[in-house]
């Protein structure tokens, strides 16, 4: 590794050489070209889909222990491609006593592919921001000339998305430079879920603006709307607990189901298990994390799963009763919930196979998407029937 990589403070490390940085920027310009002509609806859909892929791929990075496959940021030993850092990776493998450690050629590629995809998503969101700024400038010029002003996309959503994805980039860097500190990695996961949820909401808004009846907002009771948002908050808490299990490598702390170590009252250490200001695998005082602390982390996720199931099911039932057009959305929520429960149990029973464990993160994000879509649809202030009639009259004109 270049000396400059080692000597720089961990919060401000930037390991790419100027030449490699220019090449990377040149490649990312493809995203600019791709996003410039797309409709807002399609651009949001593509970015949301890629973000969902990134969440699943991030889980794969953790499960394969590839997070430190390239221990600097954003390059790999100062290079754009792991193939350019073959000598440094080989030396790291020797220093750690073999390829079973944190660094290997395959782990370097897994980590860097994750960074490439994250960069591509970041540029797509930057495209949204630039397009919104250009549209705002055009609107002001039209207003100054006294011309007709079209309703624009506005700057609010692109700015919000740009802020969130920028913070995600920082936490992605700190994940590496702070050596997989659990609270940082888990926060990075939650940032990905937040970004994905915002993109889903933005996509739904653009669908409704385009007149898509499947995205129309509907007026429902305040209780139904509150229950859907409660389900989102509870699911977010459960995803955090799942991330905390994964980032602390506590999946197999309870290797049986439904109990833990053959009992429903396992011996746990809540204090050390949920101490956030610490390194991976260690307590705040530097001692190693106990088995009881790992069990506490895992058991909290199990309890959270039960609470989440009850709340999400209650929200889906209220959606079905609120309006006939919401029954399909309620069905998708239930399908995602059942799939997530089955995959979660399989992760424990089958000793955490990588494919199943990765799917657990993927379906968690998909379940969140179904709830966000439901929340958008129940955010309306007029009935579906009134909206349908007005849309039909406009179409006939």
Which residues contact residue 241 at a Cβ distance below 8 angstroms, ignoring those fewer than 6 apart?
Answer: 297, 300, 301, 304
CA angle at 161 for the pair 157 and 166, rounded to the nearest 5°: 150
Would you tell me how many other CB atoms lie within 10 Å of the CB of residue 60? 18
Which residues contact residue 270 at a Cβ distance below 8 angstroms, ignoring those fewer than 6 apart?
Answer: 296, 300
Is position 206 annotated as part of the catalytic site?
Answer: no
Residue 31's H or E segment, with its range, is helix 18-36
Name the residue among 68, 64, 97 with its Cα closest to residue 1: 68
CB distance 178 to 10 below 8 Å: yes
Compute the distance between CA of residue 277 and CA of residue 284 in angstroms, rounded to an integer.
Answer: 7
Compute the distance between CA of residue 108 and CA of residue 352 in angstroms, rounded to an integer.
Answer: 22
CB distance 286 to 342 below 8 Å: no
CB distance 126 to 159 below 8 Å: no
Which residues contact residue 169 at a Cβ distance below 8 angstroms, ignoring those fewer than 6 apart?
Answer: 118, 122
Query: Which entry of 111, 206, 208, 385 is annotated as an active-site residue?
Result: 111
Residue 152 to residues 237, 276, 325, 381, 386: CA-CA distances in angstroms? 35, 43, 29, 22, 25
CB distance 391 to 211 below 8 Å: yes
For residue 36, what are its two tokens? 């410039």
Catalytic residues: 111
């Amino acid at each position: 590794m270049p000396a400059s990589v080692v000597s720089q403070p961990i919060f401000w490390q930037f390991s790419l050489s100027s030449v490699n940085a220019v090449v990377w920027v040149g490649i990312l310009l493809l995203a600019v070209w791709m996003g410039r002509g797309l409709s807002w609806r399609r651009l949001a859909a593509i970015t949301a889909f890629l973000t969902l892929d990134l969440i699943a791929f991030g889980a794969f990075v953790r499960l394969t222990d590839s997070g430190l496959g390239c221990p600097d940021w954003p390059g790999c030993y100062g290079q754009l491609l792991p193939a350019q850092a073959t000598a440094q990776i080989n030396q790291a493998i020797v220093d750690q006593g073999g390829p079973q450690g944190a660094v290997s050629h395959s782990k370097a590629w897994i980590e860097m592919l994750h960074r490439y995809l994250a960069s591509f998503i970041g540029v797509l969101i930057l495209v949204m921001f630039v397009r919104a700024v250009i549209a705002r400038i055009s609107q002001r010029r039209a207003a100054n000339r006294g011309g007709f002003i079209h309703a624009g996309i506005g700057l609010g959503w692109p700015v919000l998305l740009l802020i969130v994805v920028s913070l995600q980039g920082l936490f992605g860097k700190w994940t590496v430079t702070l050596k997989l500190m659990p609270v940082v990695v888990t926060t990075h996961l939650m940032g990905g879920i937040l970004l994905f949820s915002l993109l889903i909401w933005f996509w739904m808004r653009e669908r409704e603006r385009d007149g898509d009846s499947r995205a129309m907002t509907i007026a429902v009771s305040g209780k139904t709307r509150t229950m859907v948002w409660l389900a989102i908050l509870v699911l977010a808490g459960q995803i955090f607990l799942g991330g905390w299990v994964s980032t602390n490598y506590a999946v197999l702390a309870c290797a049986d189901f439904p109990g833990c170590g053959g009992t429903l009252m396992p011996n746990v250490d809540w204090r050390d298990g949920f101490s956030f200001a610490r390194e991976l695998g260690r307590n705040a005082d530097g001692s190693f994390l106990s088995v009881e602390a790992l069990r506490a982390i895992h058991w909290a996720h199990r309890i959270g799963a039960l609470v989440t199931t009850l709340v999400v099911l209650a929200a889906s039932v209220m959606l079905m009763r609120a309006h006939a057009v919401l029954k399909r959305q309620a069905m998708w929520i239930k399908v995602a919930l059942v799939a997530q429960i089955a995959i979660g149990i399989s992760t424990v029973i089958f000793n955490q196979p990588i494919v199943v464990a990765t799917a657990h993160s993927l379906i968690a994000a998909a379940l969140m998407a179904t709830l966000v879509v439901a929340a958008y649809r129940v955010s309306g202030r007029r009935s579906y029937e009134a909206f349908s009639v007005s849309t039909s009259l406009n179409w006939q004109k």
